A = this chain, B = another copy of it.
Amino acid sequence: MLTVSVENYLKAILHLQVEGDDLVSTTAIAQKVASTPASTSAMLAKLGERGWLEHQPYHGVRLTKKGHRVAMDILRRHRLWECFLVDHLGFEWDQVHEIAEELEHVGSVELTNRLDAFLGFPKLDPHGDVIPGPNGRFRSVAARTLLTEAPRNLELVVVGVVDGGDAFLRHLGVLGIQLGTRMTVLERLSFDGSLHVKYPEEEEVQLLAPSVGQRLWVDQSSPAPEILFPEEEDLQ
């Protein structure tokens, strides 16, 4: 049986491994699970013995196939519960993380799969993060771009948030941005990468800090017009 503590470590390692796919450092893990490097070092030794990760002392860890699968299952439960909380219980997207952090540790496979079905097999959680399927792999989703790297003068939709802590999500609230918000990037300022963006209904142009632009996934607004007016696309 997996303890809550072990599960939290495995999920933290998975998270750090997805970005920067090399070895994950003790300190980074300690920070993510809010414990000390010493405690983490002891835990990593144990997780290594039990075959969930490979530990290269003084250099870092990498999840084994087995450990990766376990961590993906936890992530799956976390994100499915977030969907439930937002879609059916009416929570806001910045209120669900902490609760899902506990619900994710109820491990019944039967429960998870029925919840998945109840929710309609969602691909994305309320923050636009991809939900792993019952096979322990991420469900496939449409391609997406960071707002910073998106093309200019094209209407975009916000489809996800990178690493969205509650503070950032509330900041987005202040800016009037949520999943589904549409905007057009007019200009990227060379000074610090700030973005001039325009919202459909508003006249005024807003300036988004790079810390925001780098953490928003966007997609093209409408799959509708596509190649209907290729000349106009070229003109802009």
A residues near B (Cβ < 8 Å) are 85, 88-91, 95, 98-99, 102-103, 105-108, 110-111, 114-115, 118
Contacts and interface: CB of A to CB of B under 8 A. Distances in A.
Contact of A111 (B85, B105, B108, B114): B85
Copies of the polypeptide in the assembly: 2
Nearest to A89: B114
Contacts of A85: 111
21 contacts: A85-B111, A88-B118, A89-B111, A89-B115, A89-B118, A90-B114, A91-B110, A91-B114, A95-B110, A98-B108, A99-B106, A99-B108, A99-B110, A99-B111, A102-B105, A102-B106, A102-B107, A102-B108, A103-B103, A103-B106, A106-B106
Question: Quick one: which of A90, A95, A99, A106 has the most chain B CB within 10 A?
Answer: A106
A91 B88 CA distance: 19
A115 B88 CA distance: 9
A51 to B, nearest CB: 25
Contacts of A107: 102
